[in-house]
Structure 1
Amino acid sequence: MPSECIPYSETNYFSRLILDYLDRKEDLKKFYSRYPEIDNFGQQIEEKMDSFSVENRKVLVEVLETQYENIHTSAATEANIKALGKTSTFTVTTGHQLNLFSGPLYFVYKIISTINLTRMLKEKYPEYDFVPVYWMATEDHDFEEISFFNLKGKKFKWNSTEERAGKTAVGYLSTEGLQEVFNLFSAEIGVGEDADFLKNLFETAYLKHDNLTNATRFLANELFRAYGLVILDAQDKKLKKLFVPYAKNELFQQISHEKTSKTAEALAGLGYNIQVNPREINLFYLTEDFRERIIEREGAFYVHEMENIKWSREELLAELEEHPERFSPNVVMRPLYEEVILPNLCYIGGGGELAYWFELKAYFEAENVTFPILLLRNSVLVQTEKQKSKRENLNISNKELFLKQYELINRKVRKISDIDIDFSPQKEHLKEQFQQMYELAEKTDKTFLGAVKAQEVKQLKGLEHLEKRLLKAQKRKLKDEVTRISKLQNELFPNGALQERQANFSEFYAQHGEEFITTLIEHLNPLDENFKILTFGQEQK
């Protein structure tokens, strides 16, 4: 399996914050605990072991055993759930929304990064056990964001008729209405053993499970149970009970707002974009019908835009104690909740996710919760041998492949053209001539300086215009090469974006079957700080 890679900095798709993190810039070190190097996990293990209680482990195992009661899973996953009861077992976690049929391809890369890191940790620290965890974002209520997936350039959209879609947690939503999506998917995915597997996977997940939580758990379990993946739905009363002390602090002291606001200001002061802005209270009130913000006003507490739901301080405290499952952390508090209920060492996520984690370290310190190691998930470009051969025949480097299309085409046209379309020497010569005219104007009449400058600008623009016209003419002349370049890049970068953010795993599974997953498992190193390019032998259908 041929594989290549390029530095993230050469892809033009990652923020300065993430690139500086990968470069271990000194200014960023105060925003995280330990950098994700294999030797640093020893200290992380010791710190988490000292801070994570046996009681929390017991509750976690009880909840997982209940959630897996009716799930046909692997011996590896069952062993991992049992192992979590031991003080020598730790987790590596990634989280993801309940996207329809997993959504974008990077869902797979997140989980494989998590699985592979646990394997590397076991090899380095054999006296401990490490469990890969997929945290299902069952409490998220952004239905529009999770209601579709793309396959072969086509969008497959779930048009739910439930009134509560977009109002309450997506995990509660019924899977009704997905028969039509299944029919369209079945027609598009094709025929063959692997296509049949995918059809059966979709049908069983979404047409034979009653809600999106159960459907997503089934899907992820079917794809990754052989690797011991443990799937957690944290919307559970027993788990939420463990979080009550932190929820109290949020409601009555608003610690997260104070700490993360200051950290966000510090990051902004370094020139980084802020990923999330904390609210004064970062908890939602959650029922099966709605998920809305809790707000405080004049000493009383309300559900946003629901004046009929109101509590005094004492009433809200009683509600929290009796129904902790109704209190749902938002993006600011969810990471703290995760680290409270899991013996977690490392969170694996994309660039946007890590960006908001950087805002949270002071908040974790204030709550005396161990801050996890943060690891950027693997990113991959999948290509066929035929596509690789086309790229090489067009003399396009891997780095050039990541350029914006107009930049790539302009660069290649200039390179393959039989005439020179670079007017830089002429521009420099023109500037030299005008420098002499500036000197002459200085000696005679300085009022002519403006006129000289205007004439220089006009003539430089004229040269640029001629250069563009010539380039355009050469593009027409080299139309065949331009078309081939555009077609190849469009195949590998759908809609001008990273493949992993557009395509669905099924497109590649239909071509390569289980080999698609096993090859990724084999070739992705979660501690490798490069963008991976993997070449599969079978051509796209």
Structure 2
Amino acid sequence: MNVVPEPLPGGPALARRVMDSYETVAHLYGGDFLTEENKRLRAAWLDQSENLRADRSELAEVLRAYNSRYNNHEKVRASLDLLEQPGTLVVAGGQQSGLFTGPLLVIYKAITAILAAKEASRELGRPVVPLFWIAGEDHDWDEVNHTYVLNRSGEVKKLKIELPDAGHSPVSYINVEEEHWQGPLEQLEELLQESEFKADMMELMRTASREGGMSGAFAKIMGSLFGKYGLVLLDSADPALRRLERPFFRSLIENNDRLEASYHQTAADIKEEGFQLQADVTAGSANLFYIHEGARLLLIKQDGLFTDRKDTISFSREELLDLLDRHPERFSNNVLTRPLMQDYLLPVLATVLGQGEISYWGITGRAFAQMGFRMPLIIPRMSFTIVEGTLHKHLEKYGLTFADVQGGLEEKKRRWLEAQDELELARRFEEAKVAFAAMYDPLIEQIGTVQVGLIKLGGSNKEKILDQISFLQHKVQDAMAKQNEAALRQWERIERSLMPLGKLQERVYNINYYLNRYGRSWLDGLMELPTDYSGTHRIIHM
């Protein structure tokens, strides 16, 4: 693998500022930039604040039970033994549980967490465990029920689990029957080319699908890919975890008004400094969900009560606290309280975030302090685009860069196709049309002296002749395009491979294409790449 940095324009402005000049926005986050010295300071604070978090032994038992089912690897068991010991820290990253792991960025986030934990352990001289937080409590089924694969013909194909009655239940609670898995599994096998790795990969996908749900399948695949690196998995919808979280949910409810005020104050600061908010901060939001009859309902505060927007449920603060004591599994975090809950459960040295996440975490800066915590260090997720050998040759052949592809290739492709017209037929056709008009217009004027009505007829006749010339010109252009059909397919392959659907490859394609092409050694190769936590995008030439 040859790695080349490729700075990308765009992205949320606040995230760019965090990565480029953190000191100018540090006041919004209340945390520190990722340096070895700040890692030591964060570690020291975590040692001093051990009593603020959930009991390590109880947490380790919950995670052992979960990982023994989905991620039963000796290195994971060793990580959990370490996590149970005082002084062990965590580098955490997380994502929703997408179909067949979803887009590549999920894989890159796990890799970033593993490598960052290993590096921090070496620098600090103490255990640092990597952990992946599966956001199984999220209820947007349409966000996780599909993924995209580059097929053997170089086309972008969507795979999707059709489940019309998913409702608003947390994804981890949605059962997916074997019949619903069958379609995308068959489609995946059909789309991918034959390879020495295909049978092993498809067996993993089929085994994972037997877990019955999206989150279980996701965990099974992630465990198979990363268990040997000691990556611990946590499902935020795990009922056993909810019982551990109960004291902090109580604190979130009891301090809800002050917590809401902190979000609003920081959101106002962010907007005043010219940045856009990446998460909604609405008046009266409790920033918590309640699961009622399987549906995950966002709680709001109205007339002294906790209710939802459709008044399906309504509780006083005391009633809500009583329900929490009896049914902690019914409670769930939203995007702004999840970072706080993560810090309550785990001794988080640093958290791995994408650019959108970096931006909305800024809203939680004061909230951490409000709850007696400090925001962990932020690690921008490593970001890659994979360029295969044949594709690299095509880029060189047409003189294209990744920036060209990112900007769109239509104009460059048109100019290239014009350059293949060695007979300059396009120019000569246009000249012929101009020359014809120059000869015909004076003639039309003259015949008008014979009879005025002939001018209109002559004009109509002229347009028909020009249309016929244009018709022939288009036929010639089609013939030239057919001559260059193979080359135009190469142009399409470049665009579909590197910027599918107009987005970065890592935001669209699933890992299975690359596992099928290169096997698991490809993943091992990624694990050996030099770390880069600057947020710089990198091109990997295979």
> Which residue of structure 2 lines up, in the alignment, with residue 468 of structure 1?
none
Q: Residue 194 of structure 1: CA displacement?
A: 1.2
Counterpart Cα distance in 2 of 1:417 and 1:263 = 60
Q: Does 1:535 align with 2:535?
A: no
Post-superposition, which runs of at least 4 consecutive aligned residues in structure 1 deviate over 6 A?
A: 410-418, 475-479
Q: Residue 55 of structure 1: CA displacement?
A: 5.3
Question: Unpaired runs of 5+ in structure 2?
Answer: 151-155, 423-476
> Which residue of structure 2 lines up, in the alignment, with residue 123 of structure 1?
122
Give the match's secondary structure for 2:108.
helix
> Which residue of structure 2 lines up, in the alignment, with residue 232 of structure 1?
234
The match for 2:191 among 169, 184, 188 is 188
After TM superposition, list the pairs within 5 Å mapping 1:16-165 onto structure 2.
16-32=13-29, 33-53=31-51, 56-71=55-70, 73-126=72-125, 128-152=126-150, 153-161=156-164, 163=165, 165=166
Q: Does 1:217 align with 2:219?
A: yes
Q: Is the 8 A contact 2:197 2:516 kept in 1?
A: yes
Counterpart Cα distance in 2 of 1:47 and 1:318 = 33
> Which residue of structure 1 lines up, in the alignment, with residue 203 of structure 2?
200
Give the match's secondary structure for 2:85.
coil
> Which residue of structure 1 lines up, in the alignment, with residue 297 of structure 2?
292
Counterpart Cα distance in 1 of 2:10 and 2:49 = 37
> Which residue of structure 1 lines up, in the alignment, with residue 265 of structure 2?
262
Counterpart Cα distance in 1 of 2:33 and 2:416 = 39
Aligned residues: 473
Q: Is the 8 A contact 2:96 2:135 kept in 1?
A: yes
The letter of the residue matching 2:20 is D
Q: Residue 412 of structure 1: CA displacement?
A: 7.5
The match for 1:315 among 314, 319, 338 is 319
Q: Cα deviations across residues 462-481 of structure 1 (Å, max 9, x unaligned)?
A: xxxxxxxxxxxxx9999758
Question: Unpaired runs of 5+ in structure 1?
Answer: 419-474, 537-541
The letter of the residue matching 1:84 is L
Structure of higher CA gyration radius = 2
With 239-248 and 26-35 compared, the bigger mean Cα shift is at 239-248
> Which residue of structure 1 lines up, in the alignment, with residue 6 of structure 2?
6
> Which residue of structure 1 lines up, in the alignment, with residue 436 of structure 2?
none
Q: 1:81 to 1:358 in 2, by over 3 A?
A: same
Q: Residue 401 of structure 1: CA displacement?
A: 3.6
Counterpart Cα distance in 2 of 1:14 and 1:406 = 23
The letter of the residue matching 1:272 is F
Q: TM-score, normalised to structure 2's length?
A: 0.81
Q: Does 1:509 align with 2:508?
A: no
> Which residue of structure 2 lines up, in the alignment, with residue 324 of structure 1?
328
Q: Residue 482 of structure 1: CA displacement?
A: 7.3
Counterpart Cα distance in 2 of 1:221 and 1:48 = 28
Q: 1:483 to 1:247 in 2, by over 3 A?
A: same
Q: TM-score, normalised to structure 1's length?
A: 0.81
Counterpart Cα distance in 2 of 1:301 and 1:15 = 33
Give the match's secondary structure for 2:34.
coil
Q: Residue 238 of structure 1: CA displacement?
A: 5.0
With 63-72 and 102-111 compared, the bigger mean Cα shift is at 63-72
The letter of the residue matching 1:216 is F
Q: 1:410 to 1:271 in 2, by over 3 A?
A: farther
After TM superposition, list the pairs within 5 Å mapping 1:100-499 onto structure 2.
100-126=99-125, 128-152=126-150, 153-161=156-164, 163=165, 165-176=166-177, 177-206=180-209, 208-237=210-239, 239-252=241-254, 253-279=256-282, 280-287=285-292, 289-307=294-312, 309-406=313-410, 484-499=490-505
Q: Residue 416 of structure 1: CA displacement?
A: 11
Give the match's secondary structure for 1:375.
strand
Q: Is the 8 A contact 1:117 1:526 kept in 2?
A: no
The letter of the residue matching 1:168 is S
Q: Is the 8 A contact 1:91 1:346 kept in 2?
A: yes
Q: Is the 8 A contact 1:95 1:136 kept in 2?
A: yes
Counterpart Cα distance in 2 of 1:96 and 1:166 = 20
Counterpart Cα distance in 2 of 1:71 and 1:483 = 42
RMSD: 2.7
Q: Is the 8 A contact 1:137 1:233 kept in 2?
A: yes
Q: Is the 8 A contact 2:42 2:349 kept in 1?
A: yes
Q: Residue 409 of structure 1: CA displacement?
A: 5.1
Q: Cα deviations across residues 154-190 of structure 1 (Å, max 9, x unaligned)?
A: 11110014x3x13110101112111222122222223
Identity %: 26
Q: Is the 8 A contact 2:93 2:131 kept in 1?
A: yes
Counterpart Cα distance in 1 of 2:415 and 2:383 = 26
Counterpart Cα distance in 1 of 2:328 and 2:491 = 56
Q: Is the 8 A contact 2:2 2:540 kept in 1?
A: yes
Q: 1:526 to 1:325 in 2, by over 3 A?
A: farther
Q: Is the 8 A contact 2:201 2:512 kept in 1?
A: yes
Q: 1:296 to 1:31 in 2, by over 3 A?
A: closer
Give the match's secondary structure for 1:178.
helix
Q: Cα deviations across residues 33-85 of structure 1 (Å, max 9, x unaligned)?
A: 11123332111111112113375212211111221343462211100011111
Q: Is the 8 A contact 1:139 1:235 kept in 2?
A: yes
Q: 1:313 to 1:495 in 2, by over 3 A?
A: closer
With 392-401 and 36-45 compared, the bigger mean Cα shift is at 392-401
